[in-house]
Structure 1
Amino acid sequence: MSPTDADSARYPASGLTVHLLGRPRIDVDGAPGYRYRSRKSWALLAFLLLSERAPTRSRLASLLFAEADDPLGALRWCLAEIRRALGPAAVLDGDPVRISLPHGATVDVDVLVRGHWSAAIQLPGLGSDLLDGIGIAHAEAFESWLLSERRRVAAASESILHEAAVGLLARGELDRARELAVRAAVMSPLDENIQALLIRLYRLSGDDDAARRQYDAWSAVAERELGAPPGAPVLLAMREGPRAARETPAASLHAVTEAGSAAVSAGALAAGVASFENAVVLADRSGADSDRIQARLVLAEALIHTLGGLDEAGITTLNEAERIAVASGDRDATTRVQAEVGYVDFLRARYDRAERSLGQVLDEETASASVRAKAMTYLGSVASDRADYPRAVDLLTDAVERSHSVGEPRREAFGLSMLGRVSLLRGDLVEATETLERAIDLGARDHWLSFLPWPQALLGQAWLGLGDLDAAHRTLDQSFARACQIGDPCWEGISARGLALLAEARDDPDRALSLLLDARTRANRLADPYVWLDVYILDALCEMGRRHAHPQTAAWAEAMLDRASRTGMRELTVRALLHRADSRVPGDAEAAVLLAADIDNPRLVPLVAAVGETSHPGSHGRAMS
C-alpha cells in the first residue's frame, strides 16, 4: 500500500531533525518519527538533500529504480513515503524534483559542513558513515555517488573535530580540546597538523612527558609510513610552553615586532617567529586588546604566508585573536581573522569551512574594502577549485576590480592568475594567455618575484595547449627555475607538471612520467600543501598512465578519487571516475555522467560522451535525461 500524506498530519512543522550520519532516522521534537519501509527512501532523501542541483524524475528513476518494472511508479512511491516522514509543511514535488523542509528543520550533514563547530560537535552521528548500513543493490551509479559523499562527510567530520579543538584551545579549555584532537588523530592518523596540535596541547598543559611520547610515536609513524622525519609544525609544537613562563626581553612592542618583520624579510623565519611570539607576550602584559589582537595577527600572517609549512600554528594564533576581537567588539579585526582562516581552509581544501568564514566577511557591513577584496579573491578561488566556474569568474572579476580600486596590485595580480586558471581549465586558451600575461606584468611591476612562477606555469600550459612548444618551454623553464630558487613547493610542483606535459608532447614519455612523479613529491613536501594541486597532478598522471598503459594507473586513479571526492572538487572527482571507468569499475561511468551534468566546462563534454558510449549505453541514456 502506498504511504499517504494524511498519515503525516500528526507531525508538527517545527522540531524536525533529519539524521543522515550513522544509522539514518528522523526525529520530531526529540522523539522518533516515521520509520521508512524502504532503504531506497533513505537513499532518495539523501540524494535530494545533498545534490547541488534538483534532479529530474527520469534521472532519479534511472539512478535507483532501473531494475523495477515501473521505475517512475517506484519513484512516486518513495517520494510519497518521504513526504509522510517529513510532514505536510515540507515541499517535495515537481520535475526536476525540489525539496524544501519545514521552517526550523535541521539536517545533521548541513550542520556538519556549514554550522559552527560548537554545534557540529554535539551531533550524535559525528564521525559515523553517511547512511551507515544503507546499500542499494543493482544501483552501481548511486553506490559510486554514495561512496564519494561518504568520503566528503568523513573529511568534514575530521575538519570539524580539528577546528573545534583549536577553538577550545583558544578559549583555554585544554582538556576538552585534547579529547577532540585525539578523536581527530584517530580518524586521520597520518595528518601531521593534527599531531602538531595534540603535542601543542600537551605542552601548553605542562604535560611534557605526554608531549614527548606523542612526538616519539609520530616520529616512528612518519618514518615508516611517509618516509620522512617530523616536519616543521611538529617541531614548532614541541617548542610550545605556557606563555606565562616565557622569558621575554625588556623591549617595546613596536621594536620587537619590527625586529620580527626584518628577520622574516631576510629569510630568517625561526628568528622572526620568535620575535613575534615575544610580541604576543608583551602585548598580553600591556592588557590593551588592540595590541593583543594586532600582535597575534602579525604572528599568524608570518606563520601562514611564509614557506615553512606552519599554517597549523597560524590557525591557532588566529583563533586566539578572534576570541579577543569578539570579546572586545572589534568587528574589523574579526573580519581580518576570518579572511585569513578562510585562506588556510582554501589551501587545505576544506571548502565548506572556507566558504563559511569568507561569506561572513562579505556579510559584515563594517568590513573594510581591502578585507572584502581579499575575501572575494579567496572565495572565487574556492569556487574555481570546486569547478563552480561561473561563480568563480563573477567573484574573481569583482575581486580584481576591488583590489585595483584600493591600490593592492599584488592581490589584483593573484586574482588575475586565478581568473586565467579558470580559462585554462575550461579550454579558453587565448583568454587564458591574455589574463595570465596581465597577472605576470602586474606582479613584475610590483617586484613580487616570489609570485611569478605560479602564473608563468599556468601560462606555459596555455602555450602548450595552443601548440607553441617553444613558448611553453621558455615560460615553464623560467617558472621552474624561479620556483626552485625561492623554494616554494607549490610553485615547483605546478611548474614541473607543465614540464612533464611538454616532455610528452616532445615524444619523451619516460622523462614526462619521471617529471610528474617528481612534481607530486615537490608539491607535497610540507605539511600544508595546496591540496588542489596534488589532485591536479594526479589527474595528469592518470591521463599519461592510461595513454601508455602504466601499471600504476589504477592506484593513481583511486588516490585521485579519494582526495577529490573527500574535498568536493567536483570536476576532478568526475575525471577520477572517468579514469577508473576506463578500468571498468562498476558504476563509475554512470556516476561521472551524473556529476558532470552540474559542471559548466565544455572540455568535459566529449570526455563524458566518450565513456558513455563504451559502457552500459542504455543506463547512460536515462542518466543523462
Structure 2
Amino acid sequence: MALGIRLLGRPCIERPDGPTYRLRSRKSWALLAYLLLSEAAPTRSQLAGLLFGEADDPLRALRWSLAEIRRCLGDGASLDGDPVVLRLPEGTVVDAATLIHASWADAVEVVGIDAELLDGVAVRGAPAFESWLLSERRRVAAAAEGVLHEAAVGLLARGALDRARGFAVRAAAMSPLDENHQALLIRLYRLAGEDTAAETQYAAWAELLDTELGVAPGEAVEVAMRERPLERVGVPTEASIEAVIEAGTAAIAAGAIEPGVASLRSAVRLSDAGRSTRLRVRSREVLAEALIHSLRGLDEEGLAHLHEADRLALEANDPISSAQARAELGYVDFLRARYDRAELWLTESLALSGDSPSVRAKATTYLGSVHSDLGNYPRAVELLDEALRLSREVGEARRAAYTLSMLGRIDLIRGDLDRADVHLAGSVELAEGDHWLSFLPWPQALRGEVHLARKDPGRASETLEQAFARACQLGDPCWEGMSARGLALVAEATGATDLAFETLLDARTRSNRLADPYVWLDAHILDALCELGLRHGHPDTRSWSDAMRELTSRTGMRELTVRAMLHSAALGNAGDASAAVLLAADIDNPMLHALM
C-alpha cells in the first residue's frame, strides 16, 4: 500500500505502515495543501507571511509545522530547503492531484470527488491564505464537475448509458444552470428511450432558466431533445459512405452548414451499419469538427462523437486518428476553460501523433493557447513557435494564422506592442490570403487594441469597427464580444464613459449567448469592466469583481486571477493584495508586475 494524502473532505494521511493519521495543527494542513497544490516552490519568508504573520516568531512557527508534516509523511518523504521543496515517495497518491491531472477513468474513482477541499479546516489570522484557499476550492470543485461530465460522455461513447446517466446527474447538480450538463443528461434519456424522463428534465430546466435568468433553453438542449435511439439501416458500401462524407464536407466548405451537418450525421449512421472501422472513425471526426468549428453551440454533441472516434481508433490500432480526436477534445476543453483536462488530452494527442506534422501542429497550437490563457507565457510562446514552424512545414496557412494571432495576444498582454503588431499583421495577411474571412475579426480586434495602446484611438476605432461589423455578419459570439470590448475601451479613452460601460455589458452578453462560449473572453471583458468601474466609481463594480474572481479561480487563469484579486483588494477585501503578490511572483509579465 502506498502513501495516500486526502485533501478532499476532512483531510487525512493514510500511511502504509500504520493507521490513518491527522495533523494536529490546522495550519500544518494548510501548509501541506499549499505545498502540494502550488505550481512553484515558495520561499520560507513567503510561507511565513502567508500563514504565520501574526505569530511572535513567524519563521519558528513555520519550522514547527514543517517538522510535524515530516513526521507524519515518514522517512520516504523529504521537506526542506529555501524555497521549500516537498518530495513524496514514489507511488504516493494525492486525491486532489489525481482529480485534476488523471484520466477521467481514474479521476472519477477518487473518494469524495465532489467534497470540499480541506473541509472543516478554518485558518484564522491568515487572510492571504484564506484568499488562496477560496480560489483553490473553486478550482478543485470545477475539476470535479468537469471529470463527472467527461466520465458521462466517455461512458456514453462505450454504450454504458446507465452509468453515464449517474455521472451526468451529479455534474448537473453541481452547476444547475450549465446548459451542457442538461443537454448531456437529456441526450442520455433520449438515447435510452426514456422519453418521459427527458421531457420532465427539459421542463424542469426550462422553468429554472425562466425563473433565474428569464431566458429559454438554448440550441444544445433543443438538439438533445430531438435525439433518438439509433435506427437500423441497410448495409451500405464503403463507396457510398465516402460519398456521403464528401458531400457533407463540401456543403460545409461552401457555407451550407446545416445541410452539411445533416449529411455527416447520416454518414455516421451508415458507417455504423457497415463494417469499416476506418469510416466509423472518419465520419465521427469530420462531423465533430463541423459541429465544433462551424455550427456553433453544439460542442456537446461533437464531444460525444469524438469520444466514440477515439475509442474506435484505439481498438483498431490507429494512433493517428486517436491523436486527431484527442486534439479536438482538448480544443473544446480549452474553450470551456477546463485547462487541466485540455492539457491532458493535448499531451496524449502529441504522444500518439507519431510522424504526422499536421496533427502535431494542431495539438501544439491548442496546447500553447491553453498555457497562454493560464498565464504561463514562456511555455506558451515556446509551444506556439513550434506550432508555427510545423504549420508552415505542412503548408497549413489557417493554422499558422491562428498561431500568429495567439502569439500576438501574448505580446499585447505583456506590453510588447511592436512584436504584437508584427504577429497580428501576419495573421491578418495569412487569413486574407487563404480567404478565411470567418477568422479575420479575431486578429483585427487584437490589432485594434494594439493601436489603442499606442495612443491612436482613431486608427483603433476604424480597425475595431471593421472587426465588429464582420463578426456581426458572421454571427460569431466570440469575435463580436472581443471587438465590442475593444470599442468600449476606445469609447472610454475618448471620454464617452457611459457608452463604454454600455458597450462592455453588451460585449459580455454577446460572447456568452451560446452554450459553448470562449470562457477566457468572459473573464477578459470582466477585467475591463472592473478597471473602468474602479476608475469611475460604478456601483456594480463589486458584483463584477466577485464574478471575475469566481470565474478565474474556478478555471485557474493565473494572471486574470491576480487581476481579480487586485480589483477585490481595491474594494477593501482583506488578504487579496498579499495573495495577489504571491501568485504573481512567477508570472512572466512586466505589465502585471507594474500593478503590484
Question: What is the CA distance between 1:244 and its match in structure 2?
Answer: 3.0
Aligned to 1:144: 131
Q: Deviations over 1:80-120 (max 9, x none)?
A: 11111111111110000001100110111111111011111
The runs of 4+ residues in structure 1 deviating greater than 4 Å are 245-251
From 279, 282, 294, the counterpart of 1:306: 294
**Letter of the aligned partner of 2:453 in structure 1?**
G
Aligned to 1:85: 72
Contact 1:427–1:603 (CA under 8 A) maintained in structure 2: yes
Q: 2:213, 2:337 → 1: CA distance? A: 21
Query: Structure 1: which 5+ runs fail to align?
Result: 1-13, 609-625
Aligned to 1:411: 399
Question: What is the CA distance between 1:245 and its match in structure 2?
Answer: 4.8
**Letter of the aligned partner of 1:408 in structure 2?**
E
Q: 1:372, 1:289 → 2: CA distance? A: 23
From 495, 504, 509, the counterpart of 1:516: 504
With normalisation by structure 1, the TM-score equals: 0.93
Aligned to 1:94: 81
Aligned to 1:440: 428
Q: 1:211, 1:117 → 2: CA distance? A: 25
**Letter of the aligned partner of 1:351 in structure 2?**
Y
Aligned to 1:536: 524
Aligned to 1:155: 142
Question: What is the CA distance between 1:28 and its match in structure 2?
Answer: 2.2
From 469, 489, 498, the counterpart of 1:501: 489
Question: What is the CA distance between 1:265 and its match in structure 2?
Answer: 3.5
Q: 1:263, 1:401 → 2: CA distance? A: 31
Q: 2:353, 2:443 → 1: CA distance? A: 33
From 58, 63, 77, the counterpart of 2:50: 63
**Letter of the aligned partner of 1:387 in structure 2?**
G
Q: Deviations over 1:263-284 (max 9, x none)?
A: 3334443332221111011111
Q: 1:403, 1:217 → 2: CA distance? A: 47
1:296 aligns with 2:287: no
Within a 5 Å distance, the mapping from 1:448-527 to structure 2 comes to: 448-527=436-515
1:385 aligns with 2:377: no
Aligned to 2:304: 316
Aligned to 1:197: 184
Aligned to 2:342: 354
Distance 1:92 1:49, change over 3 A: same
Aligned to 2:21: 34
Aligned to 1:5: none
Distance 1:246 1:175, change over 3 A: farther
Q: Deviations over 1:324-379 (max 9, x none)?
A: 11111111111001100010010000000111111112223625110001111001
- 3-state SS of paired residue (2:79): strand
Aligned to 2:210: 223
State the identity as a percent: 61
Question: What is the CA distance between 1:388 and its match in structure 2?
Answer: 0.5
With normalisation by structure 2, the TM-score equals: 0.98
Contact 1:307–1:488 (CA under 8 A) maintained in structure 2: no
Contact 1:83–1:92 (CA under 8 A) maintained in structure 2: yes
From 507, 520, 538, the counterpart of 1:550: 538
Aligned to 1:618: none
Question: What is the CA distance between 1:473 and its match in structure 2?
Answer: 1.3
Q: 1:431, 1:122 → 2: CA distance? A: 46
Q: 1:431, 1:391 → 2: CA distance? A: 17
The worse-fitting range, judged by mean Cα deviation, of 33-42 and 106-115 is: 33-42
Within a 5 Å distance, the mapping from 1:118-267 to structure 2 comes to: 118-245=105-232, 252-267=240-255
Distance 1:234 1:269, change over 3 A: farther
Within a 5 Å distance, the mapping from 1:335-350 to structure 2 comes to: 335-350=323-338
Q: Deviations over 1:523-545 (max 9, x none)?
A: 00000000000000000000011
Q: 2:161, 2:186 → 1: CA distance? A: 12
**Letter of the aligned partner of 2:32 in structure 1?**
L
Within a 5 Å distance, the mapping from 1:16-27 to structure 2 comes to: 16-27=3-14
1:116 aligns with 2:103: yes
Q: Deviations over 1:385-434 (max 9, x none)?
A: 00001111111111111100111010000000000000000011111111
Q: Deviations over 1:487-524 (max 9, x none)?
A: 10000000000000001111100111110000000000
Aligned residues: 595
**Letter of the aligned partner of 2:346 in structure 1?**
L
Q: 1:90, 1:335 → 2: CA distance? A: 37
Aligned to 1:49: 36
Contact 2:248–2:260 (CA under 8 A) maintained in structure 1: yes
1:595 aligns with 2:574: no
Q: 2:369, 2:50 → 1: CA distance? A: 32
Contact 2:136–2:553 (CA under 8 A) maintained in structure 1: yes
Q: 2:257, 2:38 → 1: CA distance? A: 44
Question: What is the CA distance between 1:227 and its match in structure 2?
Answer: 2.6
- 3-state SS of paired residue (2:14): strand
Question: What is the CA distance between 1:230 and its match in structure 2?
Answer: 1.2
Distance 1:572 1:248, change over 3 A: farther
Contact 2:236–2:274 (CA under 8 A) maintained in structure 1: no
Contact 2:168–2:184 (CA under 8 A) maintained in structure 1: yes
- 3-state SS of paired residue (1:571): helix
Contact 2:320–2:354 (CA under 8 A) maintained in structure 1: yes
From 255, 270, 273, the counterpart of 1:285: 273
**Letter of the aligned partner of 1:396 in structure 2?**
L
- 3-state SS of paired residue (1:252): helix
